[in-house]
């Protein structure tokens, strides 16, 4: 058994459905999941006002979710073009366990760690600095 090996078709299909499920949840869930106080939410104006009053954490969640959606879309595109599962930096296969934990991972753990050290925002859950 080689240490690093690319995904089997079954694993690839599993990743694809995980990504699609997550994507569907983010698309559908973003609006459905309400902030704590629902009574303030009436029409559009109230909605905008309450959005403005949302805690920073809520805003962080939105930013993170839209970032995640982007990564999911990219991952699905890589599945279509056959490049999924390979590190975009060193082109080695990404460990399957890592993909199972983070199906939209773009980098292998080694490259990810290197980039973390350099402070490059990647596919971590932390919100990248948008400035």
Which one of residues 65, 68, 89, 116 is an interface residue with Zn ion (CB under 5 A)? 89
87 binds Zn ion (CB under 5 A): yes
Helix H or strand E segment including 116: helix 109-118
46 binds Zn ion (CB under 5 A): no
Tokens, residue 110: 């080694």
Which one of residues 46, 51, 90, 120 is an interface residue with Zn ion (CB under 5 A)? 90
71 binds Zn ion (CB under 5 A): no
118 C-beta neighbours (distance < 10 Å), count: 7
Tokens, residue 61: 């969640």
Minimum CB separation of residue 18 from Zn ion in Å reads: 21
Minimum CB separation of residue 86 from Zn ion in Å reads: 8
Residue among 93 and 127 whose Cβ is closer to Zn ion: 93
108 binds Zn ion (CB under 5 A): yes
Footprint on this chain of Zn ion (rule: CB under 5 A) = 87, 89-90, 108, 111
């Amino acid at each position: 058994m080689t240490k690093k090996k690319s995904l089997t078709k079954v694993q690839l299909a599993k990743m694809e459905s995980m990504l699609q499920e997550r994507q569907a949840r983010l698309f559908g869930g973003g609006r459905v999941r309400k902030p704590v106080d629902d009574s303030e939410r009436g029409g559009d104006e109230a909605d905008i006002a309450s959005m403005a009053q949302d805690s920073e954490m809520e805003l962080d969640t939105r930013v993170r979710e839209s970032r995640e959606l982007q990564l999911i879309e990219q991952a699905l595109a890589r599945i279509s073009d056959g490049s999924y599962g390979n590190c975009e930096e060193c082109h080695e296969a990404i460990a399957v366990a890592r993909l199972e934990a983070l199906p939209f991972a773009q980098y292998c753990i080694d490259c990810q760690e290197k980039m973390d050290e350099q402070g490059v925002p990647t596919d971590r859950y932390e919100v990248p600095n948008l400035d």
